[in-house]
């Protein structure tokens, strides 16, 4: 049995709407079967139909956890009392419906047998894999959001790109414009109105001249939408599998359907005080081998 309280977002909404959003594994068939059995209570009153609920209503649903929550076993790379780092798979958003954050909350609810605070401190694109840092309390969240803002958390990525850069190590500076309507960004070598400065560094990790591709270690000095993907494409080395900024014919040739980009390392380089998180200073968290 699970007991949950209706929040303001669902005031005046149908019970089904609230429950489907609250429990990732709940299906329409299971919901209506549970109604028929009168195994759902609203303010301790059994209901047999899809009723309207209101803020602060208490909903009790008598269904086992294994049916209420989708089966999800997160790849936890690091965890302590304040933070949790998860290896995000491809084809999943960090936030939103059916997201990494939602599945992680479900997993931790079952593991801990209580609801706990868990919020992401940054995001990765849907098809970018790798490390996502979560805060386990509000204080840690605010500290880490600020540390990302002032660039005191260093993120490294591995990118498989078309071609081989002529320069083995380079720090690139350009300007980025975000077109939210098209969900695209544009890169310019010169400053323009509406464009923001971006800085991206890369080092060649491995070259494959016979097939004309290479693997780069990429470091973000600024964290803008699609920055790595667009910036590398701008210099003529798009990430393989990237359907938005890459070349579809090249992607087809290499057999990649999603961008080959992975966030593999996080380093805490605190210059200013981090309060309760000072113990993380100098620590690097990497993907498991």
Helix (H) / strand (E) containing 148: helix 138-149
- Does residue 179 have an active-site annotation? no
Q: Which pair of structure tokens corresponds to residue 167?
A: 């320069």
Task: Say which residues have a Cβ less than 8 Å from residue 24's Cβ, sequence separation at least 6.
Answer: 68, 69, 70, 72, 98, 102, 103, 106
Distance (Å, whole) CA 176 – CA 186: 6
Q: Quick check: 100 and 119 in contact, CB under 8 A? A: no
Catalytic residue among 57, 106, 125, 242: 125
Helix (H), strand (E) at residue 264? strand 261-268
Of 58, 61, 68, the closest CA to residue 37 belongs to 61
Those residues with Cβ within 8 angstroms of residue 167's Cβ, 6 or more apart along the chain or in another chain? none
Identify the residue whose tokens are 């080092």: 203
Nearest CA among 288, 280, 273 for reference residue 77 = 288
For the annotated catalytic residues, the residue numbers are 125
């Amino acid at each position: 049995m699970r007991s949950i309280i209706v929040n303001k977002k669902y005031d005046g909404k149908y019970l089904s709407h609230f429950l489907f959003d609250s429990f990732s594994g709940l299906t329409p068939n299971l919901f209506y079967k549970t109604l028929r059995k009168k195994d759902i209570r609203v303010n301790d009153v059994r209901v047999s139909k899809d009723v309207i609920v209101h803020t602060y209503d208490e909903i009790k649903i008598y269904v086992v956890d294994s049916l209420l929550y989708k089966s999800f076993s997160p790849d936890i790379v690091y965890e302590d009392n304040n933070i949790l780092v998860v290896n995000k798979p491809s084809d999943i958003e960090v936030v939103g419906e059916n997201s990494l954050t939602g599945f992680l909350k479900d997993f931790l609810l079952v593991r801990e047998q209580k609801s706990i605070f868990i919020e992401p401190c940054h995001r990765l694109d849907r098809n970018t894999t790798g490390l996502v840092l979560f805060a386990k309390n509000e204080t840690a969240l605010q500290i880490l959001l600020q540390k990302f803002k002032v660039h005191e958390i260093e993120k490294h990525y591995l990118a498989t790109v078309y071609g081989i850069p002529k320069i083995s190590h380079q720090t690139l500076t350009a300007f980025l414009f975000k077109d939210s309507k098209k969900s695209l960004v544009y890169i310019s070598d010169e400053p323009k109105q509406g464009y923001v400065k971006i800085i991206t560094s890369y080092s060649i990790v491995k070259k494959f001249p016979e097939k004309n591709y290479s693997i780069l270690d990429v470091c973000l000095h600024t964290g803008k939408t699609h920055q790595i993907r667009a910036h590398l494409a701008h210099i003529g080395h798009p990430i393989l599998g990237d359907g938005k900024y890459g070349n579809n014919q090249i992607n087809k040739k290499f057999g990649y359907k999603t961008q080959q980009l992975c966030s593999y390392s996080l380093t805490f380089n605190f210059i200013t005080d981090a309060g309760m998180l000072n113990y993380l200073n100098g620590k690097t968290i990497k993907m498991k081998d």
